[in-house]
Amino acid sequence: MTDLQQGPLHDRHVALGAKLADFGGWHMPIEYPGGGVLKEHAAVREAVGVFDVSHLGKGVVRGPGARDYVNDRLSNDLRRVGPGQAQYTLCCDENGGVVDDLIAYVRSEDEVFLIPNAANSSQVVRRLQEDAPAALEVEDLHRSLAVLAVQGPRSAELVAALGLPNDHDYMSFVSAEWQGLPVVVCRTGYTGELGFELLPRWQDAGPLWDALLRLGAPLGLLPCGLGARDTLRTEMGYPLHGQDLSPDISPVQARSGWAVGWDKDRFWGREALLAEKSAGPRRLLRGLEALDRGIPRPGMPVQSEAGPVGTVTSGTFSPTRRVGIGLALLDASVNEGDEVSVDVRGRPSRMRVVRPPFVPSHVR
């Protein structure tokens, strides 16, 4: 794995004995000893957990009219949010497929900060650079900033213990200092719990991580890997790019049309998406909940009494519900409440089609 990229906390994860694996071309912690996915998942649902997600991309568009420029390219309507607010949006191609899903942070009319997924960051930045007028600068900041996600019902207590602001609204952000070092505090996350994402400079991530572990210990904090991050987001029905969203899975099919500014005059993929929305998609992303002991996994075929109806895109065992759950791209004729069969390693498993989330959201 010598060709994998390493984040600013790599040595600390190794020292903690983390199980590391390739994720989006980065050497990332999947779980930690003494915790494991189930305990790390429970820490986030019941207390607080901290994730190193510094592999996520970062970019900035700055210059006169930067906000309008981004708004005319990405799917959601940035006019709905103002400076200090963040918005979930999509970067689509001309066919309406999803190049990436990302968060846009409006700093001002002339500056928008972006956090795309790790594997797609360079492609998003490149597309924005190629389309930009000379007056705008589009800069890749992938290794300039780290991202530490502090998630769980006690996350606000931990952020306050650091001396950082913790009372701003969901999907907003503020610039602050920790021990004289700059850090952006975002009220965002990927777990469905109260949470924050802290963005220190790349070189400052280590001391901030150490402080989080030290101050969080009395609150029940555990360091959490990407294994728990996946079970947490699946319980919420949050899509993962490359599985539930992709160049071959449009936001209409993924039921992410709420992240599309349908009334906008332009954005990448607009004509194709409007046509698909008008005609009606042939398949839709829906939730699956096992009625037996089966656990759906990506790629498993789904059948109804009439025959094949789709494929599982994400699936796992729900630590909270203690049952198999998943997301599946199913024929539009399949409805919520229907019973289907999933081929789980050669054995049929009965599952009900449901609408996520699988557990209540505590985002607020």
Model confidence pLDDT, tens digit, residues 227-265: 999 999 999 999 999 999 999 999 999 999 999 999 999
Contact 94, 269 (CB under 8 A): yes
Number of structural domains the chain divides into: 3
pLDDT at 2: 56
* Residue 241 forms part of a structural domain: no
pLDDT at 153: 98
pLDDT at 246: 98
Q: Which residue has the tokens 């190193």?
A: 52
pLDDT in tens, 65-105: 999 999 999 999 999 999 999 999 999 999 999 999 999 99
Question: From CA 295, how far away is CA 342, in angstroms rounded?
Answer: 9
pLDDT at 34: 87
* Residue 129 forms part of a structural domain: yes
Task: Say whether both 352 and 322 belong to one domain.
Answer: yes
Residues in the chain with pLDDT values less than 50? 1
Which range of residues forms the domain containing residue 126? 55-140+250-280
Task: Say whether both 183 and 35 belong to one domain.
Answer: yes
Task: Say whether both 289 and 351 belong to one domain.
Answer: yes
Backbone angles phi, psi at 203, to 5 degrees: -75, -15
Question: From CA 363, how far away is CA 197, in angstroms rounded?
Answer: 13
Task: Say whether both 171 and 222 belong to one domain.
Answer: yes
* Residue 363 forms part of a structural domain: no
For the chain, what percent of residues have pLDDT higher than 90? Answer: 98
The encoded tokens of residue 265 equal 């005059």
Helix axis angle, 36-46 to 226-236, nearest 10°: 50
Contact 82, 169 (CB under 8 A): no
- Within 10 angstroms of residue 245's Cβ, the number of other Cβ atoms is 25
